[in-house]
Amino acid sequence: LDLRGIFPPLATPFSPTQEVDYAQLEGNLHRYASIPFRGLVVLGSNGEYPYLAPRERLEVVSCVRRALPRDRLLLAGSGCESTQATIELTVSMAEAGADVALVVTPCYYRGAMTGAALVQHYTEVADASPIPVVLYSVPANTGLDLPLEAVLTLAQHPNILGIKDSGGDITRIGLMVHKTRQEDFQVLAGSAGFLLASYALG
């Protein structure tokens, strides 16, 4: 699955009563449909994923899939604090129409999230996932950077497609690109602020 291109992160709109505003979401999607993006990211940081109930997360994905042209890819956040919960939500996201699962690092017990623990977590999720998995490192929100050595190990997994790195460390991104050239692994810049520099690195 080729992820080259731009995937804007979709915000989740809310009504004045704090419910997900699905009508506004569909309106936003119609606007995005006229722009030749490769696809969309839903339920990432901009999608306010931590604040949605599980049923709302799935309904957002279903809503986006219905409105999104079939040739556009849908990357959906499915990372939870436990491995089992992440697997269950990832399977449900696939059933709701997601093409790729975007799995953020579990971070509540960040002191215990060693490289080995994260490799085990992501390996079990990728083994069980019916759709490809993209690692998601967003240290500004999690306080946890996915270690480079863990990324390099996970890059060898056949169902781990790549990483969305939102840390902004261009040296680290360059190392990931360079050290995974022999793998079927794609490195995505997680913010427009370092997108151009990331393109320059490959």
Q: 23 pLDDT exceeds 90? A: yes
| CB count in 10 Å sphere of residue 31 | 8
Domain regions of the chain by residue span: 70-201
Phi, psi of 135 (to 5 degrees): -65, 145
Mean pLDDT within 103-123:
97
Amino acid identity for residue 151 in this structure = V
pTM over 0.85: yes
| CB count in 10 Å sphere of residue 83 | 17
CATH number of the domain located at residue range(s) 70-201 in this protein: 3.20.20.70
Catalytic residues: 164
pLDDT digits (tens, 9 = 90+) for 115-140: 999 999 999 999 999 999 999 999 99
